[in-house]
Structure 1
Amino acid sequence: MITPNLQALPNNVLPIKKDLIIEVELNGKMKYDDLLNAIYQQMGICYKLLSANVEYMNGANFGSFQLRITVNTEEFQQLEFFLNKNKLMNTSVEYICRKYS
């Protein structure tokens, strides 16, 4: 049962978390380090940096990077709102990891 109000969920039901790969394009308006700090410190989203191609010109950061994150729907919407507010183009893909026994 998915409800907009997370307090209405029963105690034994946790929000479903998904593994996502998100790619962010830097446009020179926000520094790479500040962006990663905001994702981890302010939003509390842990990530793994998969790849980065960042160039620095006159104090501005350009390029792109990919992060693997595990988030629920609310955390992802918060991250997407933050990136859109700062005019950072982003795309995400659901990541499915196969586990072998």
Structure 2
Amino acid sequence: MTTPTPYPNPQVLQNGINQPRKEWILEIEMNGKVKFEHLMNTIYNQLGICHKVLSVNVEYLNGRSFGSVQLYINVSSDDFEQLEYYLYKNKLLSTTVEYVCRKYL
């Protein structure tokens, strides 16, 4: 018998229930202030945002991460605001583009 894996942060998930979600492509410029691994861990485990890594171009210099990463995220507006605040607080530049996918019948 296996036990289900708990979600990273149940409070964040409960707050996002029944809120409309949008799909975004998020590009983050790594400027050496936050390690890439720490950024990915924070987005998933602390903010509770599942993401798909689309591309990564990160180099390490003296233990610091420089470059850029593109993520696909599907989040509520509240979760998106939390993520933007985290990036702003850590002085990480980011750009977002709303992802729209056409579905053909």
TM-score range, shorter chain: 0.7 to 0.9
Partner of 1:35: 39
Unaligned runs of 5+ in 1: 1-6, 8-12
Shift, 1:15, TM fit: 1.1
Cα-to-partner distance string for 1:24-64 (whole Å, 9 max, x where unaligned): 00010110000000000001000000011000111110000
> What RMSD in Å do the two structures reach over aligned CA positions?
1.4
Are 2:84 and 1:80 aligned? yes
TM-score using structure 2 length:
0.82
The equivalent position to 2:72 in structure 1, one of 68, 74, 79, is 68
Give runs of ≥4 in structure 1 deviating > 3 Å: none
Partner of 2:21: 17
Unaligned runs of 5+ in 2: 1-14
TM-score using structure 1 length:
0.85
Shift, 1:100, TM fit: 2.3
- Paired residues, what number? 90
Shift, 1:88, TM fit: 0.2
Q: For 2:50 and 2:26, how far apart are their aligned partners in 1?
A: 13
Partner of 1:99: 103
* Identity among equivalent pairs (%): 54
